[in-house]
Amino acid sequence: MSLPSAARQHGFTLIETIVVMMITAILAGIMVLFIRRPVQNYVDNAARADMADVAEIALRRMTRELRGALPNSVRWAVIGNTSYIEFIPTKSGARYLASDDGADPSLYHALDFSAATARTNFDVVGPMPASPYAIAAGDQIVIYNLGSGFAGADAYAGGNRVALTAVNGKTLTMAGNPYATAGTPNSSPGKRFAVVGTPVTFACTNDTATGKGTLLRYWGYGWNAAQIAPAGGSNALMADNVYACLFSVTAVANQQTALIGLSIALARYNADMGAPETVTLTHQIHVSNIP
């Protein structure tokens, strides 16, 4: 016995299935046209935010370190397609007992600026810096740094920089006495000295063709009277995908200050533009150059 025709009819025919698939594909295509742009904008904005974060962190670190630089030690240069900014970091500082303070020489050690005696030890006035800024043997001290072109007052050239060989309580012993000169002594008006580390350089390589330049921090490469590209020592990557950067140092002599300019542009390839897309950040740092 055969079933009624109405009972045998169920499901979809092949033609109906094909029609549904075509309609679904058309609707999906229309949805993609509306969704693609917002999604791409979100991806682009997230990438720009990432680049801005990298640049901001790098510039903030540079700013923090440059604010602690030895007065009159920040210098800059452009060599080839790389911008360099170099400085001498300070660890701590204090006041020294000077010979004109009138202290009893049998009880205290005064820093001597006279070539006649050239004493190599002196006492610190006031409290000694505490850890982690404590002064130790092997540290180097600088007095009255005026920078390049000033004889006996340029720490890079070593005229006012000397290593400590011993620290005994408040008495510091130097490896020599570069401050005892026959000419005009470069004593500090505030009778202060700075404890310094070895020079540090930030090197930023421009790459406006592909945006693959780098920002590197160099240290431990030694002392150079003239600024050159760092050779040896250690380095660490602070930012990559650098498109362009610019450093500058403008000294205001009558105010004993300097204005440091830092600008960096990071890039990423944008498929829609067919070229690198850049994010640029600029910082200005006001530093004191009172020696």
List, for residues 26-70, the tens digit of each pLDDT value.
777 776 666 666 666 656 667 778 888 999 999 999 999 999 999
If you search the block for the tokens 């540290």, which residue do you land on?
Answer: 139
pLDDT of 271 reads 58
C-alpha 16/C-alpha 30 separation (Å) is 21
If you search the block for the tokens 């009277």, which residue do you land on?
Answer: 225
pLDDT digits (tens, 9 = 90+) for 194-220: 999 999 999 999 988 878 899 999 999
pLDDT of 116 reads 61
* Length of the chain (residues): 291
C-alpha 118/C-alpha 140 separation (Å) is 18
If you search the block for the tokens 């012993």, which residue do you land on?
Answer: 173
Backbone angles phi, psi at 63, to 5 degrees: -60, -45
pLDDT of 159 reads 87
Buried b (16+ CB within 10 A) or exposed e, 219-236: eebeeeeebeebeeeebe
CB 59 within 8 A of CB 262: yes
Grade residue 229 by pLDDT with cuts at 50, 70 and 90.
very high
In the chain, where the domains are located? 48-88+198-288, 92-196
Grade residue 17 by pLDDT with cuts at 50, 70 and 90.
confident
pLDDT digits (tens, 9 = 90+) for 177-200: 888 875 556 788 899 999 999 999
If you search the block for the tokens 């009159």, which residue do you land on?
Answer: 72
Backbone angles phi, psi at 82, to 5 degrees: -120, 130
If you search the block for the tokens 């240290």, which residue do you land on?
Answer: 219
What lies within 8 Å, CB to CB, of 177 at 6+ separation is 112, 118, 119, 120, 162
C-alpha 235/C-alpha 219 separation (Å) is 6
Rounded to two decimals, the pTM is 0.83
Binning the chain into helix, strand and coil, the percentages to the nearest 5 are 20, 35, 40
DSSP 203-220: EEE--TTTS-EEEEEEES
For β-strands 171-174 and 82-87, DSSP reports them as unpaired
Q: Does the pLDDT at position 99 exceed 70?
A: yes
